[in-house]
Amino acid sequence: MASNALETQKQENGSLMMFESFIERRKISTMKEIETVYPDVPSKWYATFEMQAKALKNYLGSEKGYLYSRDTGIMPFMEKLASSQMGVTTKDRWNPMDIVMVKRQAEKSVKQKMVSISKQNIDKTARLIMLNEYMKDLVERKILIGVSLKEVKKGVTKANVEEGNFGKTAAVDFKFKKDSLKSNLAMNSNGIFDTGELAMDFYAGGEEYHVQARSFRYSKNNTVVQTDITPKGRQSGAKLGKTSTKAMDTFLHPLNLQRPESPTQHRMIDVNGNFTDVQLKYWDSLYAKIKGNKVGKSKVNFGDNKEPVSELIKRASMNRQTRNVLGRLTSKLVTLEWINIYQQIEKKGEFTNWLSCLYYGAKKEFSDTNGPFIKVY
């Protein structure tokens, strides 16, 4: 729910405390009580916790008698098992749950069953799929529930609950929003881009979504460019999520395409700003290739830039001591590679399916290796 680990911990523990109080005792935690786990909690977050708890209670009906886990208990137990025995390298790529609720009387037997699954004489992926199927049964019987938490949009008075990875996904139509693909190459006088991002909008089931691909920590110019999906309009507020690289790779491989390398791995990028003539020529050539091509019958918007990319690189490199200059530069260069990929996907007639990949990859609903959860948003 937040951009840094400490703030996320406070927010999720605030949700956990409110859930336990309201579901088990029908009591809304006071601001003072919440401050024992989230000091100086903002009023907007206190309101979010209350709306989340009421939505979750409505989903559960009369069910109660749960243990609530985040840092201790069954959630870290499940994470360790999935990591050590089932090939999960990143928890959120498997399951975006932030807390786990398990019936107190069932916790021991649930753990025993999960251990039994982890010892099956099958490969790790098969064990993970078996665990996911077991978890689906537990969620449907309200015995164990993984909960993904999202901030409630300002002005909203009621939160919602949505199930994920239950095999009940309704058909969704996808459509690219014309003229929305952009990567602004205009620089200010200090040789810095306004952002390091690629942006695009599309429609899924009639709702509009915004795509943002960039390095999310400009101060560290070696981070991988990530793709973030955010609802717009009626459903705006919390992000849908970051599209799984595994989902992208699964989609791109049959098309003989692959994700661009990170700035530190890309042979045509020097993260310290010491670009060679060969590297400079590469980016000029790539820009010349992509600037006239289309996606969804519309050209890419590169802003008001009139200069070769090599000149932009030189200007940024001259101001490399300025905060974020090189981070935004390297992020922006990788987005040019992404635009090239987007255009190749378009030429192969697969762009609508690519939108589906981005959407379900962000929701973590693209494979039977994704675990079941409910989202409160």
User: Sorting pLDDT into bands at 50, 70 and 90, what band is 219?
Assistant: very low
Q: Which two tokens stand for residue 191?
A: 């040789």
Q: Which two tokens stand for residue 142?
A: 């309200």
Q: Looking at residues 136-163, what average pLDDT do you find?
A: 92
| CB distance 22 to 42 below 8 Å | no
Q: What is the pTM of this model?
A: 0.75
| CB distance 251 to 354 below 8 Å | yes
The amino acid at residue 280 is L
Sorted by sequence, the CB contacts under 8 Å of residue 217 that are 6+ apart come out as 223, 327
* pLDDT attached to residue 11: 97
* pLDDT attached to residue 221: 45
| CB distance 327 to 197 below 8 Å | no
* pLDDT attached to residue 222: 47
For helices 325-347 and 309-318, angle between their N-to-C axes, nearest 10 degrees: 160
Q: Kindly report, residue by residue over 79-105, the tens digit of the pLDDT.
A: 999 999 999 998 998 999 999 999 999
Q: For residue 187, what is the DSSP state?
A: B
Phi/psi for 266 (5° steps) reads: -75, 125
% of the chain with per-residue pLDDT over 90: 74
Q: Looking at residues 230-250, what average pLDDT do you find?
A: 80
Q: Cα torsion for 360, 236, 202, 171, to the nearest 10°?
A: 50
Across 107-116, 225-234, 262-271, the highest mean pLDDT is recorded for 107-116
Residue 172, beta-bridge partner list: none
Q: Kindly report, residue by residue over 53-75, the tens digit of the pLDDT.
A: 999 999 999 999 999 999 999 99
Q: For residue 182, what is the DSSP state?
A: B
* pLDDT attached to residue 206: 85
Q: Kindly report, residue by residue over 303-326, the tens digit of the pLDDT.
A: 998 899 999 999 999 988 877 888
Q: How far apart are CA 206 and CA 93, in angstroms?
A: 26
| Cβ neighbours, 10 Å, residue 9 | 16
**Sheet with strand 226-231: strands edge to edge:** 174-176, 198-204, 207-214, 226-231, 241-242
Q: How many residues does the structure list for the chain?
A: 377
Mean pLDDT of the chain: 91
% of the chain with per-residue pLDDT over 70: 94
Q: Looking at residues 167-172, what average pLDDT do you find?
A: 69
User: Sorting pLDDT into bands at 50, 70 and 90, what band is 2?
Assistant: low
